[in-house]
Amino acid sequence: MKPRDYWEQSSQWLARTITIVLLMVAPGYVGSLLDRQWHSRVFTPLGFLLGIAFAVAALLVFIKTVSPPPQRDTPKRAENKPPKDDQLHK
């Protein structure tokens, strides 16, 4: 791997990691600001739960875009179909 490729991949993963962390923390922080303003205790936990859901969704999207699709060892589905009735009686 060339040094440029290494730094390019490293910076991409750093950006992805920062994005996931921000998606996880930012809704909780906004929730805490709302809780302070409205003197409640509902929005901080709700924000962090929402942030975790956003982060997991983003992580799944990142994994899907980065990893190649799995290779299947099984034959095509058309070959696995059971024989038709007229083929059984021959």
| Residue 35 placed within a domain | yes
Domain annotation covers residue 23: yes
Instruction: Tell me the C-alpha distance between 57 and 23, whole Å.
Output: 10
Average pLDDT over residues 1-18: 86
The pLDDT of residue 37 is 97
Domain that holds residue 42: 13-61
Domain assignment present for 30: yes
Residue 7 lies in a domain: no
Is residue 5 situated within a structural domain? no
- Asked if residue 86 belongs to a domain, the reply is no
| Residue 44 to residue 63: CA distance in whole angstroms | 28
Look over the chain and give the mean of its residue pLDDT values, rounded to a whole number.
Answer: 85
pTM for the predicted model, two decimal places: 0.65
Amino acid identity, position 78:
A
The residue type at 41: R
Decide if 49 contacts 25 (C-beta within 8 A).
Answer: no
